[in-house]
Structure 1
């Protein structure tokens, strides 16, 4: 018997999927063995090997997770209630997986869940997280305040309105936010820092305020002052390259009689096609200096160079017009293109935005 290549490939895939649950079981991955076996039974409810694997893997997966939960509850782990909830959730996931397959339910008739046990643990988990948040806040550093924010946020997820977790979350986010007052000086108004400033301001724990607005916020102090100097912009001279093509063809011009037989006569035609390419590059620069207002020290200084490139082509035709293709004729009918200064400026701006955002986002996040 011969297999066609496609049928043979399908056979191999099916064979592999049949044994994947068993392989997971043999490796001690009982959780994975249950999931893979059930998925196989959804495709083929009478698959005996999957039923056999499921029958052996489910009790072992359940036993392993229950033992892990008991050990966690008996430990001195800081977040043992939260961690136990996560373990119970894995038991519940197996419960839902088995329940999703009628064939699997013929093997595991009463899958176990821990939904009712999770409820009482949620308040304990909130207590753990709330305490960790308070401890982090008391360290009074920006980094610890950010850590506290996520503790309080997770606390609220388990028990909404737990103590003052919501208020503490708001306060820790405020304490963890780096505030930056910025101003910019422009050269010939060729660009603006608006794009990368807006992107940076969207990052959590970073707030940028324009100096013009900052002066109206009497008494407010900022962590950093940033000067954005938008400097030179220039476009280089166009670079034009040419490539010549000598074209030779023949066309029918009539007929003549040879030995009383009409035969076509041809004429050789010639032409020259020149492919012209024009390239223009642009360049713009921005200088950024960041100072710590408390010490007056310069903490960041860098120059950025953004570039753009514009290209176009046109053709030059000479000689017999019949020798040229339609595309060549169209190219020759095009006048010499003029550089698109607007596109060149936009490209240089976008390149600068990308560079500045990449560099500053990392610096400000870790400052």
Structure 2
């Protein structure tokens, strides 16, 4: 009884763990004989009194079982390693589905009271698969190369999927993963020979932003850290990223004054002649314009290089400018002489110049966005 319960638990675990993907793979393995059995079971599910289906089911089941016995080894003879055992397990899962279908249909169970329970065979194949994957993983890990560790990790993942918690596979997965990825350290940013707080920033957001953005991109075998994380976790980097603002210039506020003289001919009446002719009057106005402006710029330099050889993987500069200006105006004279542009300037509200930290933030973000776009499109770690 206990043995039977363990088998049922294993079956439920397998079906839950592998889910719909396995069910789909199993259905692809249905033979003609399998389909006949399932069709007969469906008939009995719909009509428990189908005597013909009851009569045909035992022989159809034996044909399906004999077919699978002859099929399994021959079909996957050339498939190597654990993959062969996973494929065989999927073949035997067909019989498991068949077994469950018969037991869950009273009329089918009556016609075939003792169908073969393949759960032990399935478990055996998964055990063999886990063992094969495990050995291949250990072999590749022993090469002590990043490529070997990457392959080892993939094998250990397969072993753990075949038999969760197999031997010490989780520890080996962690070891292989650690050896398989390239570790990249992003150093603190040099803000034009000043600290980040000099420009009004509360923290070094650019360094953290780059670490987050590059990790979010999910390079397959690359992981990014800031310098504090590297020190606290005792990480030896493979590559290093230096970010250096070689220039940040935020200009003072400049003010420029100039005047515009406007003259217009305005229709003020008509003559009493027949036909009447328009009468124009010349009107004038003087527009007094105040232009306030700032011209700022920055250049971000990025270098990505090998930690051991110092050879550059990437080196480039990213420059941008930010020009701010506001023009306001007053006038004297006849408003009818003013143009639409004059009226727009006169109606402009007085606006304070942007704060120094806001300009610095915009310059840095624009430079960084250019850098990130270039890295995403051209840099391979």
TM superposition score normalised by structure 1: 0.50
Larger radius of gyration: 2
TM-score of the pair, normalised by structure 2: 0.48
